[in-house]
Structure 1
Amino acid sequence: MKKAVVITGASSGIGAATAIHFGKQGYFVYLMGRNKDRLAEVAVQCRSGASLMSCDLTDLAALNKRIAEITSTTIHKVEVLVNNAGIFDVHSTEQGSDELWQKEFEVNLMSAVRLTRAFFPYFKQHGGGSIVNVSSSLGLKPTAATSAYSAMKAAMINLTQSNSLEGGAFNIRVNCVAPGIVDTPIHQFHSLEEEKRNAAIAQMNPMQPLGRIGTAEEIAKAIYFLGSNDHSSWTTGAVLAVDGGITNT
Structure 2
Amino acid sequence: MSGFEGLTVAVSGGASGIGAAAAAAFAERGANVAVLDVNPSPDHWSRTCDVADDYQVRQAVAAVVERFGGVDVLVNNAGIGAVGTVEENSDKQWFRVLDVNLMGMVRLSRACLPHLRESPSPAIVNTSSIAATAGLVKRALYSASKGAVHSLTLAMAADHVAEGIRVNCVSPGTADTPWVQRLLDQAEDPAAERARLEARQPTGRLVSPEEVAAAIVFLADPANRAVTGVCLPVDGGVAGLRIVKG
Task: Give the corresponding residue for 2:39.
Answer: 35
Q: Secondary structure at the match of 1:78?
A: coil
Q: Secondary structure at the match of 1:186?
A: helix
What pairs up with 1:46-85 in 2 under 5 angstroms? 50-73=44-67, 75-85=68-78
- Per-residue CA deviations over 1:217-239 (Å, capped at 9, x if unaligned) read 10000000001112x22100001
- Per-residue CA deviations over 1:29-86 (Å, capped at 9, x if unaligned) read 10111112xx1x2x2xxxxxx321112221221221111222344x444221000011
Q: Percent identity?
A: 37
Q: Distance in 2 between matches of 1:55 and 1:235?
A: 29
Task: Give the corresponding residue for 1:15.
Answer: 19
Q: Distance in 1 between matches of 2:75 and 2:24?
A: 13
Q: Secondary structure at the match of 1:247?
A: coil
Note if contact 1:185-1:191 (Cα within 8 Å) is conserved in structure 2.
no
Task: Give the corresponding residue for 2:97.
Answer: 104
Note if contact 2:51-2:57 (Cα within 8 Å) is conserved in structure 1.
yes
Gaps of 5+ in 1: 44-49
Q: Which segment is superposed worse, 145-154 or 87-96? A: 87-96
Task: Give the corresponding residue for 2:175.
Answer: 182
Note if contact 1:28-1:76 (Cα within 8 Å) is conserved in structure 2.
no
Structure with more helix by fraction: 1
* Equivalent pairs, count: 235
Cα distance change, pair 116–140 in 1 and its aligned pair in 2 (3 A): same
Task: Give the corresponding residue for 1:171.
Answer: 164
1:142 matched to 2:127: no
Gaps of 5+ in 2: none
1:89 matched to 2:82: yes
1:241 matched to 2:226: no
Q: Which amino acid aligns with 2:55?
A: A
Q: Distance in 1 between matches of 2:110 and 2:75?
A: 13
Q: Distance in 2 between matches of 1:147 and 1:163?
A: 24
- Per-residue CA deviations over 1:135-185 (Å, capped at 9, x if unaligned) read 000011131211111011011011111111111111100001000010101
* Residue 197 (structure 1) shift: 4.8
Q: Which segment is superposed worse, 21-30 or 111-120? A: 111-120
Note if contact 2:57-2:111 (Cα within 8 Å) is conserved in structure 1.
no
Q: Which amino acid aligns with 2:147?
A: A
Note if contact 2:10-2:71 (Cα within 8 Å) is conserved in structure 1.
yes
Q: Secondary structure at the match of 1:113?
A: helix
Cα distance change, pair 114–236 in 1 and its aligned pair in 2 (3 A): same
Q: Which amino acid aligns with 1:28?
A: N
TM-score w.r.t. length of structure 1: 0.88
